[in-house]
Structure 1
Amino acid sequence: MTEPSTDGDPSLAERVARLEARVAELERARPAEGEAVPDAGTFWALEGLKERTGEPGGRVLFTGAVTLPGGEHFEWQQEFTAEHLLDRDWGEAAAAVAALGHPIRLLLLREILHGARTVAELGAHERLGTSGQLYHHLRQLVAAGWLRTTARGQYAVPGERVVPLLVVLAAAQR
């Protein structure tokens, strides 16, 4: 082991040992991808929401900034009072939620967000079934507001629905 230097500075070995300990501490503190960080700094959005409002029942906020694989960039936030959400008829959301309840529809949305826009491009995917099945699922997603037609036979997720869609998917993660 190297002795400390005589001028009061720590030896190289001591400095390396401290650096290694610090790196190990930081790596333990870093969450796995997608895992929530348990420290108070994690809740910066929540703290900002609480500072912003005096609502006695609380508020719900979701927000996101997303760049899709095709380069399109979307930023969105939405905020509701808890009272509004708790008091409204949840049955009104049934069609939008139900449209997301089918694996083929989720696959369609994923493919469209990854850049497939035309019925021909979507139909080339081996899991999307016949053209009749494809159109059935596309109609369901359009009716629920998760998709819109941009031109004949072309579809896109409306910009104002990109972040909400990803929030729903994030909320469904276990």
Structure 2
Amino acid sequence: MDLEERVAELERRVAALESADEAAPPVGEGDFWALDALKARHPVSDDADGAVLFTGAVRVPTGHRYEWQYGLLTETVFEGDWSEVAESFAALGNPVRLRLLKEILDGKRTAAELASLEGVGTTGQIYHHLRQLTGAGWLHTPGRGRYEVPAGRVVPLLVVLTAARPVT
């Protein structure tokens, strides 16, 4: 990368940082209504560690609607074996797998439809990725050769994607 390209890249990154700061709205009263409700139900105190909660009501590009809520007490999370979720994160840790999930939520349901996409690899590679996602519970097969994200995984997937974004 030459000097001109490096300067252009730095200018782009600075502009992105500046626009992110301007786009962040101020926090107002009632903005944390979900957090306020969680704290009312599971307060953080000397006797209680609180809880974590994720929830969502979404419509995906196919028009299907999903609503989901799940929470755990903080002590349950800390007492659990975090390595048990490594396979799930590993399945999501591949750009092609993330693209396949997005395309499936967009309505492409068969391996043939997915194989027609550019940049996802050979049919064998696609089947490998689909097996990884299915094994980790991010996909299931309702019928031969058809794939879908289970209803109970749509909101969690969107939560993980949201959580992975940089905090501004």
TM-score between the two structures when normalised by the length of structure 1: 0.78
The offset of 1:84, in angstroms, is 0.6
Q: C-alpha separation between the residues in 1 aligned to 2:61 and 2:80?
A: 36
Which piece of structure 1 moves more, 46-55 or 154-163?
A: 46-55
Aligned match of 1:61: 53
Aligned match of 1:159: 151
Q: C-alpha separation between the residues in 2 aligned to 1:121 and 1:36?
A: 41
Alignment of 1:8-157 (within 5 A): 32=23, 35=24, 37-54=26-43, 56-157=48-149
> Secondary structure at the residue paired with 2:109?
coil
Aligned residues: 142
The offset of 1:40, in angstroms, is 3.2
Identical positions, percent:
55
Letter in 1 for 2:32: F
Q: C-alpha separation between the residues in 1 aligned to 2:133 and 2:27?
A: 36
Stretches of 4+ aligned residues off by more than 3 angstroms: none
**1:3-60, CA deviations, whole angstroms, 9 ceiling, x for partnerless residues?**
xxxxxxxxxxxxxxxxxxxxxxxxxxxx84xx56522321100001111234610100
**1:80-120, CA deviations, whole angstroms, 9 ceiling, x for partnerless residues?**
00001111110000000110000000000000011100111
> Secondary structure at the residue paired with 1:40?
coil
* 1:171–1:64 Cα change, 3 Å: same
**1:114-173, CA deviations, whole angstroms, 9 ceiling, x for partnerless residues?**
110011110100111100000000000000000001111100000000000000000000
> Cα RMSD (Å) of the superposition?
1.4
* 1:54–1:157 Cα change, 3 Å: same
Q: Which runs of 5+ in 2 are unaligned?
A: 1-21
Q: C-alpha separation between the residues in 2 aligned to 1:40 and 1:141?
A: 41
Q: C-alpha separation between the residues in 2 aligned to 1:37 and 1:145?
A: 38
The structure having more radius of gyration, on CA atoms, is 1
Q: C-alpha separation between the residues in 2 aligned to 1:74 and 1:117?
A: 18
Aligned match of 1:171: 163
Letter in 2 for 1:52: R
Q: C-alpha separation between the residues in 2 aligned to 1:170 and 1:50?
A: 22
TM-score between the two structures when normalised by the length of structure 2: 0.81
Letter in 1 for 2:41: R
Which piece of structure 1 moves more, 136-145 or 50-59?
A: 50-59
> Secondary structure at the residue paired with 2:156?
helix
